[in-house]
Structure 1
Amino acid sequence: MVRSRPFWRLTAAERQVWEAYPSGAWVDLRTGDPARDDPAGGGAWGPERTVRAELVTALMLGARPAKPGQVAGLRLAGARITGMLNLSDATLTSKLHLLNCHLSGTVSLTDATTKGMRFRGCDIHRIRAARCTVDGLLELDSCTVHAGVRLDNAHVTGQLRLARARLMAPDLDQSGPQSHRPSESYLEDVRRPFSDAEKRERGWDQNHWALWAGGLTVEGGAFCRDISTVGGLRLIGAKFNSGLYLQRAVIKGTGGHAVYADHMQASSVEFSAGFTAEGTVRLRGARVTGVLSFDQSVVSAQGRALHLSHMQVDELILTPASMEGEVNLGYSRVGVLLDHPRAYPGHVHLNGFAYESLRGEARLADRLSWVSRDPGGYRPQPYEHLAAWYRRIGHEQEARRVLLAKQRARRSTIGPTGRLAGLLLDLIVGYGYRPWLAGVWFAVLLAVGTAVFATHPPSQVGLDERRVFHPFPYTLDLLVPVSVFELRGAWEPVGWTQWLANILIASGWILATALIAGGTRVLRPSNP
């Protein structure tokens, strides 16, 4: 047995690991004292709890075969593992399970193919697992990783578990040598938002991400509940075939974004139940076949809080507890939108946004405010789509009010002459959406004219016959564009009533024109 060892000298702890591996038995080096067993202080553990990473690597690469009838595996608790645990490019056939261990070096699984990998309650310097394939469970529950986790283009056939984990971006690592730690001025500087060009210039493409996982595929659920990070989550193009769950997670972005997940695909996504993000949550072009929820979340950012444009989502729940910043839903397609007015504290981009159903406590006034808050100004599509939805569910009156609000918003974008004409049409017939207003104006003018001409009758034009003047039909004849009773030419107003007669004639033409325009839908589309 000695000849097969890659090490001539083994400590007592290492010998236990060496002997236990062929049967997959547990080696527990913990003392039972929670304070002394805390892996955060594992750097001070003595040789009785120290295992070299080279020994772990050798065993995982087949330094010892399995015992007949048993399954080999490395299961170790309460150990201090020194050095870099390098399993890159390896094909591992046994499982690695570390519990409450302290790993001062990097865990490297780049391009490796492994069985299940479990790190529970461990204190780890850094994890690199780009393009790694894990056939089973990849677990980092309750772990602390000081210099980031890299899982870009990795493939996990089972579940990914990061519940209660604490992750820090590489640039914020405080566990390494003093010479490599960032200064306080640097930490203050890195937290302010920068443009993409500035980030590339400063070399921050990876270093401000606590989880760098673009292209990650997880077949089972990705359970990240109660995770806390200093640094963002980069999930561009990731696939979560059984959902991504981030309830109660606290994500503090250090580069402007808390979550960057363009073109992500998932069966469901939960940014809910106390999820907190400092920085933009960006899911541009994401595809969610189930629910995307921001229920009772807290999101704050300078500028844009939620960038959710060009998405396709079956159901979007926007009922946050608190939100600061813009919301961008432009050109997204949503089956059901459940929201309330608090979801949009600032500007909201809705141009091109389409939905099949609206749910929530929002009143019509809230919806009208919602479609009018685009930072680019007036956009017709949000009004038209909202009106179409109201009409589809049988609320014709609400649909007409939305289209009226659209015309009023449009009025501010045209020239002075158009604005004046628009204001006139709004007052007379509500742009054709309130034709009853024309009847009100007609009745008022008819009453005024009747009263005036009753006290100031006009003079008869021809004296060849005796006529009796009636103010009501005379005023009605003035208001109707084409003379019906032929009284307009039989009587001539006198004095200042001539002006009233001219006003009545002009008003009649204006009312008739506005009614015809509204009736033929010149001022409104037949199908908004």
Structure 2
Amino acid sequence: MEITGDEIRRRMIDHESLDPGGLRLVGATITGQLDLSDVVAKRPLVLRDCTAEQPVVLDRAQFTVLDLSGLVAPSLRARGLAVDHHLRLSGARLSADESVDALHMRIGGSVYLDEGFHASGSVTLSGSQIAAVLMCAGARFEAGLFLVDLRVGDGIFLSQGCEVSGGGRHASVRLRGTRVDGQLVLRGGRFSSPGVALDMRHVRVGKELFMPFGSVEGKAQLEGLTYEGLPRDATVDEWLAFLPTRTLRYSAAPWAQLAAAHQAAGHERDVRRIRVAQQRDLRRRGRLSRWGRAWHLVRGVTVGHGYRPGLALVWLAGVLVVSVTVVLSSGAVRCSVVEQVGYALNVATPLVKVDAARCTVDGASLTGQAVLASTWLLQLLAWAFATLFVAGFTGLVRRNA
């Protein structure tokens, strides 16, 4: 069956003469251009498994239901399209460089780009509002999927065989600024790019995030990404490996969100691991001065940036052992062995003093002078480690990290 694009337009303009079921065509070939720009038709339009010779244009059109499942066409342009219920493009095949240009749509139900949907060019739904679901399971996007500033009610499903590649100078999947009140599901998808595969900056997910990192083949941008509960499909260890190596640059926000999620779940041990890993990433990729980087390293080694204050006690114990070793091996301290140990602890321990009054140091010899100099240095180090322990234990180091 053949039908002209002008005939379809004429029928939809005269929609009141149509059956309440609207216009329904299956397997038709549409000759000429199907241009339904600015058509307001309070009837369904169903063009299933139809073939269009030229791009389909739906700018600012209004329908109750729009079903273009199985459509074969160069492209679809639908800027400002309004549909009361569902927009279906399941199994559609679009071949132009800009396959779908659908900015600022208003969809009262769901959008289906699934069941074998294939776009050779870019697909853009940016700025649109979808009341229910954006379903892309089993779809293939060869030149990027752009969902910037999208508003979705129930969920976005880039899952179950959804493949997105390309994207040019942008990420393959560009979700920047999108808000979804329900779930964001990337489980079973594949997102690849030699550069950035996922741009999820400032995305707000009202419920769970399902994001297995095995699906991401490229870098990711996660600054400002927020979600409820614990992220699914990736373990804490996988997050700790992904954030410092697979994100484009250092940002505190993804680390803070991950730590907050585990804090809310009561996983204190994981929170400490996340915070320590964040500080390592900051030292490696953050914008620190040379001295700032050195001090950051000292904090990390001594107290784990305030999250492992017990490390400072280990270092303090090491200082005491060195002090005792120096005194016992020098031969320059004159008193019994027990008193020599007490003397070593006296000179190196900031807070605890042991009676070793009978010990004297041969200050005239080079060895004695070396003992005096080393004990002064060890006492300084002991005070430093004791202070770092107190600062780490009270959270002062964390507040200044």
* Pairwise TM-score range, normalised by the shorter structure: 0.7 to 0.9
In structure 2, which of residues 258, 266, 271 is the aligned counterpart of residue 394 of structure 1? 266
Secondary structure of the equivalent of 2:37?
coil
Identify the residue that residue 370 of structure 1 maps to in structure 2: 242
Change (3 A) 1:326 1:375: closer
In structure 2, which of residues 120, 125, 136 is the aligned counterpart of residue 230 of structure 1? 120
Identify the residue that residue 181 of structure 2 maps to in structure 1: 289
Tell whether 2:233 aligns with 1:360.
yes
Identify the residue that residue 514 of structure 1 maps to in structure 2: 385
Secondary structure of the equivalent of 1:108?
coil
Q: Distance in 2 between matches of 1:448 and 1:304?
A: 51
Q: Name structure 1 gaps, 5 residues minimum.
A: 1-78, 170-207, 337-356, 461-466
On the 8 A contact 1:91/1:113 being kept in 2, the answer is no
Identify the residue that residue 308 of structure 1 maps to in structure 2: 200
On the 8 A contact 1:261/1:286 being kept in 2, the answer is yes
Tell whether 2:82 aligns with 1:155.
yes
Cα offset, 1:473, TM superposition: 0.7
Cα offset, 1:275, TM superposition: 0.9
Q: Distance in 1 between matches of 2:175 and 2:292?
A: 40
On the 8 A contact 1:269/1:288 being kept in 2, the answer is yes
How many residues are paired up?
378
Identify the residue that residue 179 of structure 1 maps to in structure 2: none
Tell whether 2:169 aligns with 1:247.
no
On the 8 A contact 2:316/2:386 being kept in 1, the answer is no
On the 8 A contact 2:4/2:34 being kept in 1, the answer is no
Q: Distance in 1 between matches of 2:250 and 2:111?
A: 41
Q: Aligned partner of 2:203: which letter?
A: M
Identify the residue that residue 26 of structure 1 maps to in structure 2: none
Q: Aligned partner of 1:396: which letter?
A: E
In structure 2, which of residues 271, 276, 281 is the aligned counterpart of residue 404 of structure 1? 276
Cα offset, 1:134, TM superposition: 1.0
Tell whether 2:194 aligns with 1:265.
no
On the 8 A contact 1:262/1:284 being kept in 2, the answer is yes
Q: Distance in 2 between matches of 1:127 and 1:455?
A: 90
More strand by share: 1
**TM-score, structure 2 normalization:** 0.82
Cα offset, 1:499, TM superposition: 2.2
Cα offset, 1:475, TM superposition: 0.8
Q: Which range is displaced more, 239-248 or 447-456?
A: 447-456
Identify the residue that residue 348 of structure 1 maps to in structure 2: none
Cα offset, 1:432, TM superposition: 4.0
On the 8 A contact 1:478/1:504 being kept in 2, the answer is yes
Q: Percent identity?
A: 24
Tell whether 2:395 aligns with 1:505.
no
Identify the residue that residue 202 of structure 1 maps to in structure 2: none
Q: Which range is displaced more, 273-282 or 297-306?
A: 297-306
On the 8 A contact 1:429/1:515 being kept in 2, the answer is no
On the 8 A contact 1:119/1:141 being kept in 2, the answer is yes
Tell whether 2:362 aligns with 1:434.
no
Q: Aligned partner of 1:134: which letter?
A: F
Q: Name structure 2 gaps, 5 residues minimum.
A: 167-171
On the 8 A contact 1:428/1:511 being kept in 2, the answer is no
Q: Distance in 1 between matches of 2:343 and 2:273?
A: 36
Q: Distance in 1 between matches of 2:181 and 2:29?
A: 40
Change (3 A) 1:130 1:502: same
Provide Cα deviations, 1:80-118, integer angstroms capped at 9, x if missing partner. 225743627924121222122212211222211221111
Secondary structure of the equivalent of 2:161?
coil
Identify the residue that residue 100 of structure 1 maps to in structure 2: 27
On the 8 A contact 1:298/1:320 being kept in 2, the answer is no
Identify the residue that residue 332 of structure 1 maps to in structure 2: 225
Q: Aligned partner of 1:369: which letter?
A: A
Q: Aligned partner of 2:160: which letter?
A: A
Cα offset, 1:239, TM superposition: 1.8
On the 8 A contact 1:85/1:106 being kept in 2, the answer is no
On the 8 A contact 1:229/1:250 being kept in 2, the answer is yes
